[in-house]
Amino acid sequence: MVVGEMAHEHDFIVIGGGPGGYSAAIRAAQLGRTVTLIERDRLGGICLNKGCIPSKHLTRAASAWTDLQKYEEFGFEQEALRVNHEKRLMQKENVINRLVDGIKALCKANKIEIIYGNAFFLSENRIGVEQTNSYEIYQFKNAVIATGGSPISHPAIKIDNIRILDSWHIANLSEIPDHLVIYGDDALSLEMAISYRIFGSYVTVMLPEKDDFSFDSSLNREIKRLLKKNKIQLVKSAEILSVSHNSSTGIAVKYVVNGEERLLDATHLFFSAKMKPNTDDLGIDRIGINTDENGFVIIDQQCRTILSHIAAIGDITHGPSLAVKAIKQSKVAAESLCGEMSEFDLTFLPRVVHTVPPIASVGLTEEAAIEHGHKVLTGQFSLTANGYASLMGKREGFVKIVADAETELILGIHMMGEGAIELITSGTLAMELCARIEDMTFPLYPHPSINESLLEAAEHLNGKAIHVAPAKLREIMNHR
Domain boundaries, the chain: 8-151+276-337, 164-273, 357-478
pLDDT band at 295, cuts 50/70/90? very high
Neighbour tally for 379: CB within 10 Å: 25
What is the dotted CATH code of the domain comprising 8-151+276-337?
A: 3.50.50.60
| 164-273 and 8-151+276-337 share a CATH fold | yes
What integer best gives the mean pLDDT of the chain?
94
Given the residues 447, 460, 467, 479, the one annotated as active site: 447
pLDDT above 90: residue 1: no
Residue 72 phi/psi, 5-degree rounding, is -65, -25
Predicted pLDDT of residue 296: 97
Of 354, 385, 449, the closest CA to residue 66 belongs to: 354
Confidence (pLDDT) at 81: 82
| Cis before 448 (ω within 30) | yes
Is 169 catalytic? The answer is no
Q: The domain 357-478 belongs to what CATH superfamily?
A: FAD/NAD-linked reductase, C-terminal dimerisation domain (3.30.390.30)
pTM score of the predicted model: 0.94
Choose the CATH number for 164-273 among 3.40.1160.10, 3.30.750.24, 3.40.50.20, 3.50.50.60. Answer: 3.50.50.60
Residues 39-61 have a mean pLDDT of: 96
Render the burial of 271-309: b for 16+ CB within 10 Å, e for the rest.
bbbebbbbbeebbbeebebebeeeebbebeebbbbebee
Residue 3 has pLDDT above 80, yes or no: no
Nearest 5°: phi and psi at 276? Answer: -110, 150
Task: Give me the pLDDT at residue 472, please.
Answer: 64
Q: pLDDT, tens digit, for every residue of 196-249?
A: 999 999 999 999 989 999 999 999 999 999 999 999 999 999 999 999 999 889
pLDDT grade for 12, boundaries at 50, 70 and 90: very high
Q: What is the pLDDT of residue 7?
A: 82
pLDDT recorded at residue 4 = 46
* Across 267-294, average pLDDT: 95
